[in-house]
Amino acid sequence: MPRRPSFSANSCDRRLAAKISCGLSVVASITRRRPGTWEPVTTLTETDSGLSERFGGAHTARISSHCHKVYTLRVLMIEASLPLQVDESTQEFLVFHIRQKIPAEESLPMSGLTAAAISNSSRSSEIYDLMSRTNGAIITIAHRALWSAAPENSLAAIRAAAELGVEFVEIDTQATADGHLVVIHDRTLDRTTSGNGIVGASSFQAVRSTHLRVAAGGDAAALTDERVPTLEEALEEARGRVFVNIDTKFPHELPLVIATVRRLGAEDCVIIKSDVLPESRDFPVVSADWFGSIPHMPMFPVRPGKFAADLKLIEALRAPMVEVKFTDVAELAAGREELERQNIRLWINTLDVSHNLDFNDSRALKDPEGVWGALIEAGVGAIQTDTNVEFKRWLSSRKPV
């Protein structure tokens, strides 16, 4: 008789974990959200002796519940000490598909075993629902989190952004000399911390010993009690509260970032971005082992008269959202039909340093309709800004057109 695993709720990261012996069972669970915790409602165990041949030994099955669903199921992966390459036939052993929402008064029916639940085409997770063009709301992205209220890229800034109600925070990450991923934008410690020197040439202990300066930093900025966070700390701070756009400062460190996201089970909490050249028709990212399991956002400049054509060229990337720079706002509107066809949301930065003509935060504070309003009219559905409080206030007061 297969041994049933014991479940333990973890209110910090909202995932249920069950130790299983491979060859005995694969476990799925439905959970119901309760204040501050998750309660197992029912479990389904499927025996398959083939698992012991595939994996061998004991591993951990992580079962994650998305925080805004009443009932949901997601068997994310089987963890092992070494990365596992899970092919399509193996997925059939691991994934159970359950209806996303079930009224409490109903029974809890389950469908058969299927790999569709983790297929990218199903796009059942909240982050894809948020980015879908069927969501008519404008997404707000807090650049380096809410640095107007706390040190940039700090845990306090992430908390402040979540409390403001932004949908995404953008954070920057890079590795220290001893391989720890920390959240800091600049190549050096000088502007934002009490320290100095190159981040990548400093030990984690040296980086951690510094204090963050208020807001965007600078020599005259006061010091705080905040420290440079690790990427892991930032993702845990954001989990269940706000989604995270990770800007990997050095592309060769992306495997470290992906490993951290996977280890935390945060695949559905983040989006990874990278530069592409549509006209090259060559997209190495599609061969990455994480592509399709972690949302990806291509970034590229809009070529005059070719935006719609370039969107067609990147269709293989199955992008839920694209970030572009432009030299004529009319070019954005010209891509609307293709954006609709592929269900791609359009992300624009209005940061003063973005150089999208004069569509920037400084002008938006004086003429929000002329900047943010004009972009939305051109089809933009996500705006990254340094003036999040003002932008959210403007959005909430704006009448639909």
Dihedrals phi, psi of 307, to nearest 5 degrees: -65, -50
- Say if strands 168-175 and 139-143 run parallel, antiparallel, or are unpaired: parallel
Catalytic annotation, pick one of 66, 97, 185, 296: 185
Is 143 marked active-site?
Answer: yes
Is 68 marked active-site?
Answer: no
As a whole number of angstroms, the distance between CA 75 and CA 208 comes to 35
As a whole number of angstroms, the distance between CA 216 and CA 353 comes to 14
Residue of 253, 243, 347, 247 whose CA lies nearest to 300:
347
Catalytic annotation, pick one of 59, 143, 180, 296: 143
Q: Among all residues, which ones are annotated catalytic?
A: 143, 185
